[in-house]
Each structure stands twice: as C-alpha cells, then as structure tokens.
Structure 1
Amino acid sequence: MAQNSNDRSSPEGSESQPVSLHQRILGDIEGHILSGAWPPGYRIPFEHELTEQYGCSRMTVNKALTQLAKAGLIERKRRSGSFVAHPQSQAAILEIHDIREEVKQLGLPYRYELVKARKRKAGAADRKRLDVAADASLLDLSCRHFAGPRPFCLEERIINLDVVPEADGEDFRDMAPGPWLIDRVPWSNAEHSIRAVAADRATADALGIGEGAPCLVVERRTWNAGQPITHVRLTYSGDNHALVARFTPAQG
C-alpha cells in the first residue's frame, strides 16, 4: 500500500511518463487531422507503429486512439486499423437569411410584393403555430418574393403584437417583415421545420406553378426570452430551391 502511494505522489513516478505521451499522441494525431494533412479515409499508423514511434506501451496508444474515436475524429475497424472519420452531420443549423440576399446570389433582380396584411385575434391554429394566448393580437401577413419575373417564395407570417406592438404601425409595403423584424426585434431562440408538400390551388397560383407541383416548405418560430415573436411559413417551388448546411466532425 505504501509503495503505491509513493508512486502516485512522486513527480518521477512510473505513470507520469505514459500520461505525458498519451497527451502528445492525442495532440499529434488531432493536429494532422484538423490541419487536413490526414484527410477523411486516411489510415492512421497501426498501434505497433505508434508504439515504436513514441517509445511507449501499446496500452497508452490504445487509450489515445479510443479517445479520438469517441470524439468522432477517427473510426476503428477490426483487423483493418484506424482511419480518419468522414464528417457526419449531427444537426443542420440554419441561419435566418434575408430572401432578398438569396435572390441576389442567383444573379437575378429582386422584387417584393405585400399580398395581405390584417390585424386579428389568435385562433386555435395560431396558438398551435406560435403558442400564444387565446386573446393574443396578431398581425397576419402574406407576401411574395420574386426572382426576376418569376415568383420565388411565398411568405405567410403571423407576428405577436403583444410582444412586438410597433409592427401594428407598419404597412410592410416597402420592406418585407423578415428583415424588418431582424433589424428591430432581438431574438434568443429559433426553431426550423422543413418538409416537402404538394402545392394546393392557392399556393400554386401564388407561385405560378401547377397544382400538385412539389414545394419545399420551411417553417420557423422565434422567441425572445421565452416570449413568442413570430411564426413564418416560407414556401418555395421545389425546382428552384435547395437548403445547404455546413458542419464539422462531432467533437467529444
């Protein structure tokens, strides 16, 4: 018992060197991967090669490789060795973009049109969409965004006037509600829902497509300090829109 205690407390103890090598192996391999020197699919040196390279026990090498695998940086395959992992998306995080900028990136002229704006009380469907009280005041908006001569996106939005009362004084004829809200109302949380739908008659007419044509629908809710701000449904014709998310390998 006394001997084990002395080994742990001494800076020259038998376990101080393996711990140092363990961290060095971790840092070296992680550096090769994150710098791109070892791309996805690259085979990591075998355990016996790393043991020889670092002059340590195989247990130390195995511990380092196990930790790298848990962090998602490498994949360990029985009898084949360890390989740099291919990136895997754990969650696609979508930013809140200005539709005007989306159209500009296509190299097309942008135009915005307010179709409908009316103040009303929340109904059952609204309370489900935005989780507001039954007597909440809402601003109900419908807008179209164009890319060149063609409708690009149908925007259907409700704004919680109990949280954003200044929206009641805007007519939104010159500025779309999305960028107006971003400029004036802070938000702390957002939720996206993405699905494919077939265009009903009203949507088809608004987007200038055939009834039943495939559409991509992005629904978003935003909150500020737990208070619901807005719910928007953005409908795009399925043949002219795609969603892209950037991601990195999962880190432990």
Structure 2
Amino acid sequence: MDTEAGKDGGGALYLRILDDIRDRILSGEWPPGHRIPFEHELADGYRCSRMTVNKAMSELARAGLIERRRRSGSFVRMPESQAAVLEIQDIRAEVEALGLPYRYERVSRKLREANRKDEADTGFAAGTGIVDLVCRHIAGPAPFCLEQRSISLAAVPEAASESFETVAPSPWLVARIPWSAGEHRIRAMPADDHVAAMLGVARNAACLVVQRRTWSGDLPVTQVVLTYPGETHSLVARFAPKDG
C-alpha cells in the first residue's frame, strides 16, 4: 500500500507521477487539449491511491500545465501567449516562443477599391486599390489567431501580385516598406459565427481583439484586426513613470 511519503526510485510516488505527466506534456507527446487519463485510471496504472494521484494533478494544475474540468476530466492547457501592446509582434515568433509548431493558412484574398466607409475607417482614399486578406495562424493542433487585413496598393503596389498563400502578410510588409507610425485599439468581443468557426471556439466566447493601423509618413499602409481566443492570450505593456 502506498503513502504520500512512500518512496519509489528515491522520491515520493506522487513526484514520479507528476514528473511523468509533466514530461509527456513538455515533450509534446500530450499536446494542448489532450485528455489526461482519469484519476482512477492513473491510480490503477501506478498501483497507488487516488489521493496520491490527486496531489500530483493538483500541483500540475497550479503550475498551469493542465486544466481540470468538472465531470469531464483533466486536459493539457494551451500555453498562454503574452504580446506587447506597443509593439508589432511576429505571430510565428509568438507561437514558437510557446514551444509549439506554427502553421499559417490564407483563407481568402480579394482585390477591390476603397469606398467612403474605408476612407472614414482606415484613411484609405476612396478609389484606392486594396488587397483584403483573411488568414489563420495555428499553434500546434489549435487555431491561435484570426487575421483580417487590408493593404493599400497606393502604399505597397507589389501586394497586388502577391498571393500570400505561403507567406503571412506582416513579415512580408515589414520586409518591404518601413512604417513610421502605428495605432492599436484593443477590446474584448464575443465570437460571432465566422470567428467561432475560424478559431474553434463556441459562439459568443470571449475573444481579445487587437485592431492596428500603420502609416509610412502620411500614407496609410495597412489595417489589420487580430482576434485571439480570450482564454489563451493576454497583452502586456511595459512603461515607466514620467519625469517630474
């Protein structure tokens, strides 16, 4: 019969269980969203009490590695991403910093002319050529971010011939045109049907929405709306006190 003080290989048995599960999570063997065996299954496998298993699982939950759902079991948590508010982040770098494989999908691309609404909302002069893009960024097995972007052909005419099938718009733009000013607007929004389908979340699930505009001199370059599942993303701003 085991006890929490019982030894197995030089350490408490619950530490062995904790280390085994943590190693499977960090190695990617159990990816985000994977359901961990139920506590009674782990207890049978390790030939120990459920109390010992529960202690290990509680510690994994406190460490943020697993999520315990009543009646459903325990699941590997998606790591939480933190993006700086005042910077233009490379989404691929964000995903890879979490230790997850990155994948990019272009969902749609359309050429059109800016209308009066665009002029009011984005600063693109009516009649200006625009490339509208919808893209999805994926981290491991799960959608990470939905990108809805408009690019002004007055600022970046070569965007008219770029398909964006294999390259994401942000690094492509950064490599071609210097931006001199940017504006971020951040808000929480419930997922509509389109966003819910693209991000694999429930309709009306809380989402974090970052709307960004950039300029090169006085010329508007792009507007993008980045939508993230609210449970897996947070924004960080670093600041300092003003002199005096």
**Shorter-chain TM-score: which interval?**
0.5 to 0.7
Which of 166, 170, 190 matches 1:174? 166
Indicate the residue corresponding to 1:225 in structure 2: 217
Task: Output one character per residue of 1:46-92: Cα deviation in whole Å (capped at 9) or x when no partner.
Answer: xxxxxxxxxxxxxxxxxxxxxxxxxxxxxxxxxxxxxxxxxxxxxx8
Q: For 1:181-200, list aligned pairs within 5 A.
A: 181-200=173-192
Aligned residue identity for 2:137: H
Aligned residue identity for 2:154: D
SS of structure 1 residue aligned to 2:112: strand
Percent identity between matched residues is 55
Give the CA deviation at 1:171: 0.6
Indicate the residue corresponding to 1:155 in structure 2: 147
Unmatched 5+ stretches in structure 2: 1-83
Indicate the residue corresponding to 1:244 in structure 2: 236
TM-score (ref. length: structure 2)? 0.64
Structure 1 vs Structure 2 CA RMSD: 1.2
Indicate the residue corresponding to 1:116 in structure 2: 108
Residues of 2 paired with 1:211 and 1:93: CA distance? 26
Indicate the residue corresponding to 1:94 in structure 2: 86
| Bigger fraction of residues in strand | 2
SS of structure 2 residue aligned to 1:178: helix
Aligned residue identity for 2:225: R
Residues of 1 paired with 2:218 and 2:116: CA distance? 20
Q: Is the 8 A contact 1:139 1:158 kept in 2?
A: yes
Which of 113, 121, 136 matches 1:129? 121
Q: Is the 8 A contact 1:129 1:231 kept in 2?
A: no
Give the CA deviation at 1:93: 5.6
Aligned residue identity for 2:119: R
Q: For 1:134-149, list aligned pairs within 5 A.
A: 134-149=126-141
Give the CA deviation at 1:251: 1.5
Residues of 1 paired with 2:146 and 2:115: CA distance? 22
Which of 180, 183, 203 matches 1:211? 203
Residues of 1 paired with 2:118 and 2:97: CA distance? 33
Residues of 2 paired with 1:217 and 1:125: CA distance? 20
Task: Output one character per residue of 1:209-245: Cα deviation in whole Å (capped at 9) or x when no partner.
Answer: 0000000000000001110000000000000000011
Give the CA deviation at 1:128: 2.6
SS of structure 1 residue aligned to 2:224: strand
Instruction: Flag the structure with larger Rg.
Output: 1
Aligned residue identity for 1:182: V
Q: Is the 8 A contact 2:181 2:215 kept in 1?
A: yes
CA 102–171 in structure 1, closer or farther in 2 if over 3 Å, else same: same
Give the CA deviation at 1:99: 0.3
Q: Is the 8 A contact 2:85 2:235 kept in 1?
A: no
Residues of 2 paired with 1:202 and 1:133: CA distance? 28
Aligned residue identity for 1:117: R
Give the CA deviation at 1:124: 3.4
Residues of 1 paired with 2:116 and 2:146: CA distance? 23
Q: Is the 8 A contact 1:192 1:219 kept in 2?
A: yes
Aligned residue identity for 2:197: D
SS of structure 2 residue aligned to 1:103: helix
Give the CA deviation at 1:246: 1.1
